[in-house]
Structures are given as C-alpha cells and as structure tokens.
Structure 1
C-alpha cells in the first residue's frame, strides 16, 4: 500500500494530466486506470469496465462504466453533461445489483465528467461530496478515499473533521434556542456562556462538594418533559451569584459554591425547555469537559456566528468574514509567545538556576516578582485564546520556579501533605488585558480565563499538593477584558502586546471599518490600500513609542508583508524606528473551527529594541514545520536582507523593455468563446474566422486550456455592420452594453458605446514574452513563454519583442527568489506584477555573457518543445510540476541558474535566502 504522501503526489500529477480532457468515449478507461494507480491499485485485477447489469425479470441489459465488486461503482460523462443524470443512472444500476447480486453491493459510487467528481455513500444516503477534480489531492489527504484501501472509517468533510463533539453539541443547543425565534442574540449567547461554565465546572473539581452537581440537578430534579428546566436554571443562576451566608434555597442548590465575578449577575428571562431541549442539555452534560481545551471556546463561538444563505445557497451574510474572525490553535499561538517572551524568560530562569546558593535566593525572589509584574494585552482578543495560552505558559513557568526555589528541582508528591503552604501563587489573571468588539466573544473570553485559571490551579495542586496555595472559587480576580472597538479605545500600557487582529481586505470592509482606517491612519497617503489588520500595528507602534520596552507580535494575513502593502507598512514601521525582532514567513492556518477559513498567515514581532538575535522562520512546506534562520536583519518582506523601500515603478529601468498587463474585456464573458462555440461560429459564419483569436491568460498559458475571443479591433465598419446582423453576435453585444452601462465606473460606462471591443486594448505587435499573473507556489519556476498571434488577457503580463537573454534572467533562480519575496500572493500562490520586474536588480553583463545566457535559455525552450512533442499533453503545468519535472528540463534550468548566479558574483549562492539578501544589498 502506498503511503499517504505518495498518494497525494500521484493525485497532483493525475489532476494535471487530465485537466483539459473532455471526451468520455476516448478517455474514461485511461482515466480510471490512472485513478486506481494513485493508490497503487491495479485496476485490471480489481475492477471491470462495462460491467454487465441485468434485471431478474427483464431481458434488458445495461453496462456500468466501472465496477469493483463490493467496493466501488463509477459512471462517467463527457464534460458539460448533467451529472445528476449520471447519478440516477448509477443508482439504477445499484438497485438492480441489490436485487440480483446483493453480496456485490459496493460501499461507494461516483460520477464524473473529468472536470468534476461527485462521491456518494451507498450506506449513508446523507453523504454526498462534490468537488472539482483539482481538489482531488486535498480530498485524498482527508482520507475520503480510504475505502479504496480497505479502510471504511467515517468519511467526513473538512468541516466535520475539524470540529469536536463538544462544540457540535453546544451548537445544537444554541440552534434549538434560535429556532424558537423569541430570544435575542444577547440572551442566547449569555445562556450558552453560563452553561459552558457549569458544564466545565461539573467535571473539573470546581465545586467543593463533588463533581456532577449540575448534571444531577437537571437529571434528578427536573421533569422529563423539560417544562421546569428553565425555572431551575434561573434559580441556580441566582444561587450562584449569592454568597453562601445570604442564601435561602433548597438543599440541591445549597451545595453549589458561590461563583461571583459577574457571570450570573444579570437577570435572564426564563427559557422554555421541552423534552428534546432537556435531552440536548443532558447530552452536553455527558461530555467529559475536564478534557476541554482552550481552542474549543473559539470553535464554539464560531459555530454560532451568523451565516445566512439565500434560496440558491449563496452566502449573503457572513459574520466571520465581516469581522475578520479567524481563531487560532495552540500551536500557532505558541509561535507568537515563545519568541515574544517565553523563551527569554525560560532562559532567565535557567541562568538563575546556575547561580551559587546564596545568589539564588535573592535572584529567585526577584525573578518571581518580575513574573508577577509583567502585563499582557490582546487588543482583538476574540474568545481569549492568546490570553489563555499565555497565562497557562506563565503559570507553568511559575511552577518551574517553585520547583527550583523550594524543592531543589524535584516537585513533591501531592500525597505527602504539608501542614501549611510554603508559597502562594503570585501570577494572576489580572495581569492580562483584552479588548473585543463582539459582546458574546467577550463573555466567552472571561469565562475561558476563569476556567483556565482553575485548570492551572489544579495543575499546581497536582505537582505540589498543599505546598503551594491557590484558590478558584469564589472568583476574586479576573482578566481585564472589555467589550468595545479596540481602534477607538485607549490601550492599557503593558509589557507585551499580542494577538490575531481581524484580517479584512479593502474590498470587504464595512463603512464603519473604513471609518476606523481613516481615524487611525488619516486620509493621506496609501494607507487605504492596507489590510484592516494594519490599524492594530499603528496603535501598537503608538503605545511602544510611549513605553519603549514594550514588545508586540501579531498574527496577520500574509498579504500585509507582500507586494505593494509591504512597501507601505514597511516604510511606516521603519520611519517610526521599529525593528522586526522575529518573524514567521507564510504558513497555512489551521484551526478547530467548523467551516474553518482557508488563511495564509505570517507572524511579525516588533519593537524599538534591536536584539542581537533575530529569528526568521521559513516554511518550505506551508503546511509543515519551519526552518529557523538567524537573521542579520528582517525587512518588510520578512526576508533576511536590508530594509530597503522599493519605489513603485510603472516604467522599467533604462534600456529595459516595458512590461504591461494584457487586454481587459469587462464583458461578462460575452466576448469569450469556448472551443465548441468557436467551431460553431466559424462553421456558420466563415467571415468571422479572421476575427476570432486565441485568448491567453494565466490558466491558458500554464494548463494549456483552450479559449478564444471575438477580436474586432481595427475591423472595417462594413464588416462590423454585417457581423451585427448575426443573431449570436448581436445578443452578445447587447449583453455587454447592458453590463457596462450598469457599472459604477465612468470609463466602463463610456465603453458601452463600443460593446464589440475590449475596454482596454493592450495588444502587442509581433512576438512577446508572456508572464502569468498567478502561479502555484509549489513550482520552482514561474512558467513563462514566447507567444504570437493571440490575445493576452488581463491575467497575463507581456514584454513585447523580449530577447532570450531577458527570458533567461527572468526564469532564473535569482529572479524567482526575488519574485517569491517581493510579489504579492493569492493565498500562497505567487501574484506577479510589473513592479516585481521593474524593481529587480538586473546584473551587469558583457556581450559575451549575454550570448551565453541566451544560448542556455534557448536550450530550456528547446527541451520544453522536445518534451511536448513526446507528450502533447505535457503542458507547462506538467513540465514544471516539481514532483515530475523532466530530468532534461531540470538540468537545462540548473545550468542556466548557475550562469545567471555568476553574473552577480563568483562565489556560489547556497540558498534563495542568500540570493534575496544579496539583491537587497544591491538596492541600497
């Protein structure tokens, strides 16, 4: 059996090979032979093509496209055919198999048209997973196809796999309240917050009497009909908010501790329960909440964030997107706190441990006082995950200190017993501050901090028994978490600022968020182009200037430190004398949240202090572990190089050919033709042949996708008049005219007068070098090529009359390293812009050197052509797939890379990081 990583690599190659195939008759058999090969399964010995399906009471015989007895059935169609029809056909076959040969019934069945794949479970009729073929590697990674290898398992979509049973049960309860349509959001969220506390307390030794007090109250003291559950809850809430000596209540309430802290202070009207709601609550009680993790609070919060869809399933309101809410797992939070403060504090404790006995006593005391004096702020704290994890880390460090101070590095057994405590916990939740704009998240964060404090107390008791004094109830100390707009409030002065402020691109910002941007940055300059998260950077800088020893670290969208945004935010930070003290380059976000967001992040730590060690973490695999680099300087692109602000250039360096974007249609697809539409039009109207050209964008260039466009530039008026009589052309023109007139952009409205033309015509004459705007980050080289006699779209950049020398430089490792650093990103894919080209430090090359580079570049082109002659399906995507790149092409590139490197210096470059650092030095 092949390992999972091999299966994923095989699937990536499979997707690229079949990206443009459409015909069922000629391709389906090869398609499934190669599909089985992904998993190392021999199709011939396991599954049959055209498997005979015959009814018991009928002479009619049908043939299933593919059948693997007991495992899998597939029905295939030509691209564009209705897959629902194919599904009905497959289900008809299954019904006949069930009647005639039930022991052969498969576990799963699928329908596909090459471009899409729909997978269904025979047993679980609710299971339906539909995805484009491009997502096949991702689905294999999620073990969706484990049944192919004999592992039935539970097939789960990403959202189900990422969630936890606890969050789901709380979500069910919340939704049940919501369906009543009588409770306000505040009422429901306050109820859920209180129940979360009670559920956790029930399993975590919060109650002095014993565990399960809340469960017993609901299970034993309420009616099975649920009619009195709401009344009982309100009575309990009142009791929990009342000191023991002031209570006048039934015995089943008296055994509950006094909670204090304000959680149960607000009066909440009685919620009406029934038998079903009561059972949902009991289901929640049956979970072992002692095993709860802090991340679950963010998961629960996100599970109840509002998402509304219309009748077509389109999302019309997404509260998470509107608020830029993305919740952070512990591993990613630790990336922030370790380098921001924890590693340094641990090193300080180790240094104290190495002192002599007399010096230790005073040093331990001073270090303990220091720990108790430090303060922390998360100015967009959400459900408090950063504060929770930071507090937990600090408490564990304090435990390590206790162990060193009082027990010579060996914690006493909790069973030994002490007549009195030798020390008291000094760290407190009051050292932690948070600001959160969402009221419910604020409540969750407060509860989460209370519960984490209790967890930490339990851990201390487990380590030291009664030797270290700590208490949970009644709640006396709490974190300072306030509900409000962080950008409009004055921040508490602290030692460390940390968090994950909201990521919201300019196209998604609300009017209020735009007002926040203007309030924080003003209206001058280019700050409006920055992501919303930049506001928190500016507020942090303002505090650091007032308190110079304060340090800050934020998780941010990677776009803030790429492309144009990097220049804007970098110039601001460096003008304010900020130093980037550590950074994590782009990595892929993971979280436990349902419907988790696909986010690519960076972490940036900064302040006024200039540490001797600046750690830069690079991710060769954005889903993997980082490589740590000890940097001399971390610049605005999070590269180990000089902090040089690159000017935005619309023109190339002197003597270089200009790079421009291709032509923009702004047509709603009406000037664009599929191969079929192209064939139909020229067959019906031969005169159109000369006025239909191939359209080339990033996808067409890289993946060999075939598309055409109507190109009527410079067409004689008499012919335009004739073409206007063609119904198909006339309909397209009218659709374009209507679309452009409805545009809010004046220039586009003006183009409604010429609906047969592209709104922006940047058609090069003759040959040109085509550079795709977007390209996968997995490729070592951005595929680019010389083209002619086609229309480059707005997703291609062109350099007219480019030389093979220029091509050689641009496709070299040196330029690729520059592009990976300076270009913007779409998620993690490269988003090339002319500024990458215009700002690139080209080498000074003699005529002989230019000739050498040209010859090596021509070799690369020749090898490409030879590979495509051998395999016509070998698109640039296939040729530049790092897993299967042809050896001859790889060697041709390596020779070119070495020659280009030598144009810059004779000493060998050992890494792309070294190349980038050298290039930034040239830009000084």
Structure 2
C-alpha cells in the first residue's frame, strides 16, 4: 500500500536533515539515492541501476559513450554531481544521454542534483523546477509517480488513446498469428490492459513493476514469457496470505486483485521475440493518461481489421454522452448539491443518496455511458467531501468516506469481448478517480483487492428480462445508445429478436431496431410501478432529485423512491415520418411522458475519421415533470440551445401530442398531389438528348412521341433526359416504327423476367407505365428528397408537355398561392419536423407531410378587400417575386440550377431576400388565425402548426398556446 502524502512529507523532511552536509559524489551519491527512494516506501534496490552505460550525443571532447549515474527505465534519469558543481552543465549532460536511450525507455523525469539542490525536468511538458534540499518536502509531489500518486487530466483527445490501441493491436495480431485466438485471446488482452494500467497508476508497486518483471525475468526470445504471464495471473488471483512462503520475491510483490478478473485458467500463450517486443512497447506507454470512455471502444476495434483501418471512427464522444446524462440526472444532482452543501446533515443525506443510485445500460457496448456516468458521479462525490471538510476538519480515513462504487452500474452487451472491456473500463476509471481523491486528501486510496464489481451481463438485451439483471424497483436510470439499424436493413436475426418485443404493436414492421429498446424500457419501467403508469401530477421538482431506489445498497434505509427514468440516443427516424404513429402511439398509450429531448444533431466522436449520424436524444418516464427542456440546434453540428417546454410531443416540439396518420386526401381545401410516372421499363424508354437524336435519325416517325423527362436529379441539378411515351400511340402507327417496336418488345421481356407477379402482369400492356401521371395543364413539382442543408425545398412549375418521374411529386392545379405557402419557412419547418429521412436528407411525402399540413385559413372565395383576401394576394405577390428572382440567374450560357440557387453558400442575396418577404407574408396569414407575430425558434412554428392541426381535426377548437417564457441556457447549464 502506498504511503500517505503526510508520511511522505515527514520522510522527506527527515531525509533533508540527514543529508544536509553530504558533498562527495563518489562516496555518497549511491546511498543518497537509495535513501531517497525510501521516502516513497521503495526498498527494492533493483528498481534502478547505477552507472548505466549509454551512448550519448558527442560533446566538446568527441566522446559518445557515457554512464548515467542512475537510470530507472521509463521513470527516472539522474545525473549527480558533487556539491557546488555547475547544474546547467549537468542538465546538458543528462539530456545528451537521451539520444542513446530507446524510445520506450525514455524517463518521465530528468533530475540533476549536487546534494544541496535539485533541478527536475518533466520530459513530456519541458517544465523545469529547481529547489534546495531543505525544501524537498515542499516539492515532493513532483515525484508522486514513485509513490503511486500519478494524477493528470484525462482527455479523449490525448494521442495516447490511439497509440495504446494501436500497440494493443500489434500485440493482438502477433498472438493471433501464433494460433492464440478466440475467447482466450480476448481474455488475455483484457488482463494485459488492466496490468498495463496498473503498472502506471500505483496499483503495482513500485512503478513499472510489470515492465521490470518482463525485462528481467523473461528471455529475449520470448520463449518463457507465456508461462511467466500465466504464473503472474495466478499470483494476481491469490490473496497474499494464501501464497506460498517460497514464492519468488518479485512475483510476491504484486498485489491480490480479485474481481474474478484473473480467475479463469487460460491456455499458455507461445511468445517469440517480436511478440515480447510488442508487449514491452505497450508497457512503455503512459497508461495512466488513457480515457476509459473512449479507449474501451478503441480497444474493441483492434479485433476487427476493417475497423482498425479507421481506428476510432465510430466511437462516442464524452461531449455527446454528457448531452444525455446531464438532463437525465446529473444537472439535477448538482442543483441539489448546491442547495445542501452548506448544511452538514442534509449534505450527509445527499451523500447517502448518491450511493443509492443505480444505472442500467441495456446496450452498453464497451461501457462508454456507464464509465462517464460513474466518473461524473465520483466527481460530484469529491465535491461533497470537499464541502464536508472545507472547515479544516481532519479526515480520519478516506477509505470509509468514499461510498459511490462500481457495483451501482449494470449493463447488458450481446458480444463477450466488449462486455469484458466494459467491466474493466469501469475499474480503470474507478482507480483514476481514486487517485484524484488520494491527491486531494493526501491519503493513498485504492480499492485493491477489488471487492465490488460492475454487473455487466453478456447476453441479448432484447431476449433477456432486464429485471433479472437489475430489478426495476431498484433501478434509478436506464440509459444508453442502442444499435442503429433501419427497418429495411434488419436481418432475420433482428426480426427474431424483436418479434416478441413488438408483440401487440400494429405495423411494427415499420420500426427501426432502436425502437425495440424504447418498448422494452417502457415495459421495464412499468414493472417498477406495479405494471401501470403511476397516477401522479406534474411537479416542479427536477428529474432525479427524489431519492431512488428505496434502500441504500449498504443497508441504510433511504427516502421514498421515485419511478425510474430512461434516456436513449436514437436515429431521428423514430421521431419523424411513419414510425411516429406506430411507436409513439403505443408508448403514449402506456403512459410515457417525454421529460427532455435533443432535436436532430450530428452524433460525432472525438477520434480519427469522425463518423456522424443524425440523432436525437429522448429522455422519458412514466411520471410527468413540469421542468421539461428542449435542446434546439441551429444546424446539426452546432451547439444546443436549451429552452423550457410545457409539453414535448413525439415530434420533439413543444406542442400537443399529435400522431399524424397516413392521410389519403389533404386536410385542407388544396389540390391533391401524387407521384410522377413510374415506367418499370428497364430503361428502354429513357434517353439522353444524344441518344434521342440518334434514335430519331433512324426512326423519324418517333419524334412526336418523345417528351422531356424530369426526375429529381434533372429538376434540381439540370441535365436533359427524354422519354418515349407511347401510351397514346395508335397500333397502326406503332407497328410502322420497327425500332420503336423493338423497344416495346424489350420492355415486355424485362417485365416478364421479373420475380414480382404484378410486374409480370404489366407485360400485357408494354406501352403503358406502371404509374401514369400525365398532366393536361401546368403543374407544380416537389422533389421527394432534398438536402438537409437547404432552408427551403426547391419547387417549381412545369408545362404539361413535360413528364416527371416518380422521384418527384406532381401537384396539378397548384397556383402561386400554393407555391408560396409550400415554399415558406412555415411549411419547411413542418417538413423538417415530420418527414422521414433518407440518410440525413429530407424525404417529402404526400400521406404524412402534405396531406396533414395545416394551411392558413385563407379561402379562395374570400371577399375582395377582406383580410383573408389581402393576405392571399400578398402571398401570391411574394411568390411571384421568388420566381422572378430565380429567373435572373437561370438565363445565359451557364444558367444556375435550383441546386445552385438553394445551396446556403451560393444562394443569391436577392433570392434570399425574396424568400424572406414570402416568409413574412405567410407568417402574417397565420397570424389571422391566432399565431404569434414573431417566432423565436423553428420549434415554436411547429408547435403552433400542431395546435392548428388539432383545431382542424377536433370538433372543439383548441386554445392556441403562447410559447413558454423566454429562458435560455447553455447545454451544460
């Protein structure tokens, strides 16, 4: 066990007095440093070598050989001089030795000393400090790594995370190549991870004990490394009092670890020189600096060669994890702490409460969410201890005062290796926090042997009863990041897993895989309250303030429990499009309330090759709360703005609970829309301009049957395609065109070859399209898919001689008024809130988006001069201005495409201004129906539209709510 700082300081004072008069390097330097090590409880004379031979940079005399006075590989290099000698020259000499030292042996500290004075340089930072021997006790923390007090700021961005994973990857590859594979390999790597971390954080004493053991006790060819590691694992699994009195002294110095980490007997691995070198290279890294939150996932990726090519591409950033855990529980706990920190008894009860909390991640992976949650809970506990002892009262025993522990954390993971990593990662962050406590209070604190363990279950969360992992009555919070698999991409195994979960939910085949966790979580929460939603009025108490669960895990009775709550990261698809009605219709019927939500944002990570998907975070429970929060994003990769909300609906806006149905006709009196034409022709009727001209040259009679063809790509990005439309061609004329008949025959053959019976049936009418939409008047085009970056979906009018494909919607009979409303900020906000997505792009639809849209109450037959008539005219005028602004750039040799015009970076100011005028006209029209005169956020627009929707669909008109009082706070508030 490491000494307390008080003991170390007392020893440093005694050391300074004992050696106050030392002066001669040759006679006194070696005993001086041996005695120096005893300050930190190090009595093993083998930890460092004296007069260590090394090549150095040439100096004035040209010599390149030399002897380091004292060298501890990876830890310490000392150049000692007689009293009064030049320390500048001594430091130059010491630094010159570094060029001759292998990279993995470079020390953390370079020290020069003349008995009377120390000069200490931290090699990584370059910081140098000088002090007198008499003041050693004042600066003794510089040498904290010698005593196991090695604390530093842990950041995911630290390159050591990537380096560590890469070196473990090399070790993995060499072991695998030797035939050491499967479960033994995974367990071996997890054990080595723990040992490497222990070697740098004071668990193993002295520092670098593992590395020294490997270097001194194993042969350079690695032949005996496997047996020595197996013996070491046995020792780590054996309590000290049960070990043989004849056990090798170097092995006996290793502590008993427990935690069942080293319990399983593994096959002995066969190492060679390269494998031994790979392990020693791993030992050379500073493992105390790794972030368990990100490293666990990096570590997992070494098992997958493809993932390793882009190491760290798919792993969650701490910033994004905090977006979930802060509003779920952390903000409320900090708020409560600030209220009670000045009251000793209430602070004591609050500390007990922290021990009562339990957390379940039912898709924990490598434990990222659990690790960060635990770290933040320990940080809060540290603040509790600071507040408790800020009056100078001496802490008796920090071991008795640290209550929060890893056994409060539960997880389920379907793969074995990540489950093992999750457990070890929690132990690692536990020790990192223990080191912070040690540094803070001057008492070394380590939970070795491990008496508590996280409850990480290797199993299928969709088939397990979560109550078997953690009874819901004892659960405080369910959280995590379940897997993202779209409904269309779910495997047969996924379907089997979700079949029982989705039982009783209509149209569950539309749901993405992540929806199964919402359903399972809701059923789990119900078991905590007797199988039904609690009858409870909303209160102003923030989520998480009430004590949960009913009893302290140590046996201390707590306060009355509140129902557990949950929060998941999800693809935004479950809050948009058809899935909303299916999933949230069921969830709302079970009594689910949304407590907080992050609207769509880019879920990125801190590692190389950042991957991002568009996600939401939804916090929910069966109890209601008054203090709801919506986190808005101006753009997906921006920072969130936290806004208070009265009620958060399934579309994640502050509005009433509305589930939009698949409506076959528009809600309001507007023209219907439908998709364009769907030929199912194998491409035989579609031509480029050059192909059309060549075809007509050989078949002149076909010219009049060609029509311009617009798909979504041509409409937005330009280009020219043509279609051979033969639906109206008389049989006699058709038969007179042999090349056209060849096309007809090719289409018939294509359809007959289909595996789809309806498509084969279409072979009976090969000149007709599967879906036909042949306008006889000008019509409006709306592309089905539009980039998320655009503020407005580009729409436009076309003449009836142009035919459209099925990648666009066609609205026959649309006027400038309809174009204006559909092109406004109001309609585009509706689209972004309720439409489905194709990747991150908007996926417009007739049944959900257009047909459910609540138009302003501006009847076409409004009396001239009335407010409605004036508002409609204003919209038409503003719409015309938008079309004219476009036309200015759609002329000349290089006409702008709609994609050019609506790119936020290249949108012409005149067009942007025209759209702003149109937005103002449409907003004014809605104001006639009770809408606010100004909107602070897009979510407020959508909230009003949902209220307007309810007015149109319910017999009694709803009262239009005013937005909640303006209150802004940052995401970290």
TM-score scaled by structure 2? 0.71
Q: Specify the alignment match of 2:385 in structure 1.
A: 402
Q: Residues of 2 paired with 1:454 and 1:773: CA distance?
A: 53
Q: Residues of 2 paired with 1:160 and 1:198: CA distance?
A: 20
2:912 is the alignment partner of 1:890: yes
Q: Residues of 1 paired with 2:574 and 2:833: CA distance?
A: 12
Q: Is contact 1:424-1:470 (8 Å) kept?
A: no
Structure 1 pair 444/715, CA: closer, same or farther in 2 (3 Å)?
farther
Equivalent residue runs for 1:230-379 within 5 Å = 230-248=226-244, 249-293=247-291, 294-305=293-304, 327-354=315-342, 360-379=343-362
Q: Give how far 1:920 is off.
A: 1.2
Q: 1:878 aligns with which of 890, 893, 900?
A: 900
Q: Is contact 1:909-1:915 (8 Å) kept?
A: no
Structure 1 pair 431/418, CA: closer, same or farther in 2 (3 Å)?
closer
Q: 1:901 aligns with which of 904, 923, 926?
A: 923
Q: Give how far 1:572 is off.
A: 2.0
Q: Residues of 2 paired with 1:373 and 1:870: CA distance?
A: 72
2:450 is the alignment partner of 1:475: yes
Q: Residues of 1 paired with 2:280 and 2:509: CA distance?
A: 50
Q: Secondary structure at the match of 1:873?
A: coil
Q: Specify the alignment match of 1:124 in structure 2.
A: none
Q: Specify the alignment match of 1:869 in structure 2.
A: 891
Q: Is contact 1:222-1:232 (8 Å) kept?
A: yes
Q: Specify the alignment match of 1:844 in structure 2.
A: 857
Q: Residues of 2 paired with 1:794 and 1:256: CA distance?
A: 71
Q: Is contact 1:657-1:799 (8 Å) kept?
A: yes
Q: Secondary structure at the match of 1:868?
A: coil
Q: Residues of 2 paired with 1:253 and 1:727: CA distance?
A: 88
Q: Give how far 1:365 is off.
A: 1.5
Alignment length (residue pairs):
737
Structure 1 pair 782/235, CA: closer, same or farther in 2 (3 Å)?
same
Q: Give how far 1:184 is off.
A: 3.9
2:477 is the alignment partner of 1:500: no
Q: Residues of 1 paired with 2:901 and 2:383: CA distance?
A: 55
Q: Residues of 1 paired with 2:682 and 2:668: CA distance?
A: 38
Q: Give how far 1:602 is off.
A: 0.6
Equivalent residue runs for 1:481-520 within 5 Å = 481-491=456-466, 492=470, 493=472, 494-520=475-501
Q: Give how far 1:163 is off.
A: 8.2
Note the alpha carbon deviations across 1:397-450, whole angstroms, 9 max, x for none: 111001111224x8x9xxxx9775495211111111111111111111111111
Q: Residues of 1 paired with 2:696 and 2:276: CA distance?
A: 69
Structure 1 pair 710/307, CA: closer, same or farther in 2 (3 Å)?
farther
Q: Which is further off, 270-279 or 511-520?
A: 270-279
Equivalent residue runs for 1:44-63 within 5 Å = none
Q: Give how far 1:263 is off.
A: 1.8
Q: Specify the alignment match of 1:922 in structure 2.
A: 948
Q: Residues of 2 paired with 1:734 and 1:884: CA distance?
A: 45
Q: Residues of 2 paired with 1:166 and 1:616: CA distance?
A: 38
Q: Give how far 1:319 is off.
A: 15
Q: Specify the alignment match of 2:770 in structure 1.
A: 759
Structure 1 pair 917/282, CA: closer, same or farther in 2 (3 Å)?
same
Q: Is contact 2:426-2:454 (8 Å) kept?
A: yes
Structure 1 pair 902/402, CA: closer, same or farther in 2 (3 Å)?
same
2:400 is the alignment partner of 1:386: no
Q: Secondary structure at the match of 2:877?
A: helix
Structure 1 pair 279/514, CA: closer, same or farther in 2 (3 Å)?
same
Q: Is contact 1:563-1:824 (8 Å) kept?
A: yes
Q: Residues of 2 paired with 1:303 and 1:903: CA distance?
A: 59
Q: Specify the alignment match of 1:584 in structure 2.
A: 598
Q: 1:213 aligns with which of 199, 202, 209?
A: 209
Q: 1:225 aligns with which of 221, 224, 227?
A: 221
Q: Is contact 1:644-1:920 (8 Å) kept?
A: yes
Q: Specify the alignment match of 2:554 in structure 1.
A: none
Q: Secondary structure at the match of 1:814?
A: helix
Q: Secondary structure at the match of 1:556?
A: strand
Q: Is contact 1:299-1:594 (8 Å) kept?
A: no
Q: Specify the alignment match of 1:39 in structure 2.
A: none
Q: Specify the alignment match of 2:804 in structure 1.
A: 792
Q: Give how far 1:524 is off.
A: 4.7
Q: Is contact 2:699-2:739 (8 Å) kept?
A: no
Q: Specify the alignment match of 1:774 in structure 2.
A: 785
Q: Residues of 2 paired with 1:161 and 1:885: CA distance?
A: 40
Q: Secondary structure at the match of 1:525?
A: coil
2:584 is the alignment partner of 1:570: yes
Q: Is contact 2:775-2:812 (8 Å) kept?
A: yes
Q: Is contact 1:298-1:593 (8 Å) kept?
A: no
Q: Residues of 2 paired with 1:481 and 1:686: CA distance?
A: 75
Unaligned runs of 5+ in 2: 1-156, 530-562, 863-868, 951-973
Q: Alpha carbon RMSD of aligned pairs, Å? A: 3.0
Q: 2:440 aligns with which of 447, 463, 470?
A: 463
Q: Secondary structure at the match of 2:851?
A: helix
Structure 1 pair 717/269, CA: closer, same or farther in 2 (3 Å)?
farther
Q: Residues of 1 paired with 2:843 and 2:579: CA distance?
A: 13
Note the alpha carbon deviations across 1:189-222, whole angstroms, 9 max, x for none: 2222222112222222221x22222222333333
Q: Specify the alignment match of 2:614 in structure 1.
A: 600
Q: Give how far 1:295 is off.
A: 0.8
Note the alpha carbon deviations across 1:60-83, whole angstroms, 9 max, x for none: xxxxxxxxxxxxxxxxxxxxxxxx
Q: Is contact 2:707-2:723 (8 Å) kept?
A: yes
Q: Secondary structure at the match of 2:263?
A: coil
Q: Is contact 1:879-1:885 (8 Å) kept?
A: yes
Q: Which is further off, 332-341 or 728-737?
A: 728-737
Q: Specify the alignment match of 1:40 in structure 2.
A: none
Q: Residues of 2 paired with 1:300 and 1:576: CA distance?
A: 40
Q: Residues of 1 paired with 2:395 and 2:667: CA distance?
A: 77
Note the alpha carbon deviations across 1:145-191, whole angstroms, 9 max, x for none: xxxxxxxxxxxxxx9999822222222332344445x4443232222
Q: Is contact 1:637-1:822 (8 Å) kept?
A: yes
Q: Give how far 1:231 is off.
A: 2.6
Q: Residues of 1 paired with 2:631 and 2:611: CA distance?
A: 23
If you compute each CA radius of gyration, which structure gives the higher value, 1 or 2? 2
Q: Residues of 2 paired with 1:747 and 1:593: CA distance?
A: 49
Q: Residues of 2 paired with 1:725 and 1:574: CA distance?
A: 60
Q: Give how far 1:371 is off.
A: 0.8
Q: Give how far 1:692 is off.
A: 3.9
Note the alpha carbon deviations across 1:37-94, whole angstroms, 9 max, x for none: xxxxxxxxxxxxxxxxxxxxxxxxxxxxxxxxxxxxxxxxxxxxxxxxxxxxxxxxxx
Q: Residues of 2 paired with 1:754 and 1:233: CA distance?
A: 76
Q: Secondary structure at the match of 2:265?
A: coil
Structure 1 pair 271/764, CA: closer, same or farther in 2 (3 Å)?
farther
Q: Residues of 2 paired with 1:779 and 1:166: CA distance?
A: 42
TM-score scaled by structure 1? 0.75
Q: Residues of 2 paired with 1:723 and 1:216: CA distance?
A: 89
